[in-house]
Amino acid sequence: MNAVNQGDVQYSTENGIATVEFYHPLSNSLPGKVLAKLANTITELGSNDEALVIIVRSAGERAFCAGASFDELVAIDDLEVGKVFFSGFANVINACRKCPKLIIGRVQGKAVGGGVGFASAFDYTMATKFASVKLSELAVGIGPFVVGPAVERKIGLSAMSQLAIDATEWQTAEWARAKGLYTEIFDTADEMDQAIQTLANKLCKSNPEAMRLLKQVFWEGTEHWDTLLAERAAMSGQLILSDFTKNAINSFKKK
């Protein structure tokens, strides 16, 4: 099966806790259809009365999310198609932003590009010590335009600029925790899962309306992001058409 057609999103709800899990066999690098399903799932759970709190996680052990699907990226040959693809990441970020439920992120492994954007868009993100981060977009001829607002909001312009400019270097999970991307880091996934379950259980006992209002306060000043992220997606969509970027991505795939 073509990699673009692989991957999925599943969710379950139990005792007020909705758990959303995304997956793709290539290190959880996400094609457009998986991004769309992830955004739609988060949006739907936002209006589901059975879900009081949401946990977002990925399957597997090694990589939380490797960002965009390179197979889909190199196939883009039209500006509108490029804008639609990069809007996939924008839609997930905006779904997290507008969801009235608090979202806990579970980051068990490395996060690249869009994966860093996801971690930034969650309201409370826990990670293991293996969850290094990298914004690799500049290294493949693009730039972290779509995820940039979410990352900057979470860790500040200076730290985001460091990631964006030094695009081939990993920063450790401890670096990410110190900058505010992760709230806590753990030695093992089991320890992280216990902490996530404990927090989720506490939140289920909290006033839903208070949590909804608190989330509004957290995200004040981002009301223009529907427009902003669409503009950023267009920037990336334009760059993906260049020979420079096509060659850079093909070279990266061969490594």
Question: Could you tell me the CATH number of the domain that includes residue 250?
Answer: 3.90.226.10
Question: Is residue 72, in this structure, part of any structural domain at all?
Answer: yes
As for how many domains the chain has, the answer is 1
Q: By the 8 A CB rule, do 144 and 157 touch?
A: no
Two structure tokens written together for 25: 């066999």
Question: Is residue 213, in this structure, part of any structural domain at all?
Answer: no
**pLDDT for the residue 17:** 98
The residue ranges of DSSP E strands in 41-151, in sequence order, are 53-58, 63-65, 103-107, 110-112, 124-128, 133-134
Two structure tokens written together for 122: 């969650």
Question: Is residue 131, in this structure, part of any structural domain at all?
Answer: yes
Q: By the 8 A CB rule, do 130 and 187 touch?
A: no
**pLDDT for the residue 28:** 95
pLDDT mean for each 10 residues of the chain (255 residues): 83 98 94 96 97 98 91 86 93 98 98 97 98 95 96 98 97 98 98 98 97 98 97 94 85 69
- pTM, full prediction: 0.95
**pLDDT for the residue 1:** 56
Two structure tokens written together for 58: 């990925």
Question: Is residue 101, in this structure, part of any structural domain at all?
Answer: yes
Question: Is residue 216, in this structure, part of any structural domain at all?
Answer: no
**pLDDT for the residue 27:** 93
**pLDDT for the residue 70:** 82
**pLDDT for the residue 75:** 84
Question: Is residue 104, in this structure, part of any structural domain at all?
Answer: yes
Q: By the 8 A CB rule, do 137 and 164 touch?
A: yes
**pLDDT for the residue 253:** 65
Question: Is residue 196, in this structure, part of any structural domain at all?
Answer: no
Q: Which domain holds residue 96?
A: 3-189+223-254
**pLDDT for the residue 250:** 78
